[in-house]
Amino acid sequence: MPNEQSPIKRLTKMKDDVLEDIAHEFLTNPRFGNALGVALRRAFSTKERMNRDVAIFMGLAGVPSKTDFDRLADRAMGLNKNVLRLEKRIDELVMRVEKLATKGRE
């Protein structure tokens, strides 16, 4: 009887079928979808509150938060742009001064 499956294979197939049926029932049930939506909204709300509370606690403890680091990084990038602009202006001024000095020697 080569067509006959082993008991383990039959149980595995039955388990897969049962899990598929359960998943289908859950996914097609509107009450489950609503409950899942509510649970996700509450989870995100809780995460936002936790992030805010941790940031407040870190601020009270004198530890910089991610927002502090982001703000500092933005300021550093702004300063870097200003320095690059100033370097360009200085290079332009140096070239003008050298041009004027060369004209003055002639």
Query: Which residue ranges make up each domain of the chain?
Result: 1-63, 64-106
SS3 3: coil
> For residue 1, what pLDDT is reported?
47
Q: What is the pLDDT of residues 12-35, one digit of tens each?
A: 888 888 889 888 888 888 998 899
- Structural contact between residues 67 and 52, judged by C-beta atoms closer than 8 angstroms: no
For the beta carbon of residue 89, count every other beta carbon within 10 angstroms.
10
Both structure tokens of 89 = 């202006």
At residue 15, the pLDDT reads: 86
In this prediction, the residues of the chain whose per-residue pLDDT falls under 70 are: 1-4
Name the phi and psi angles at 37, rounded to 5: -60, -45
Closest CA to 57 of 99, 49, 26: 49
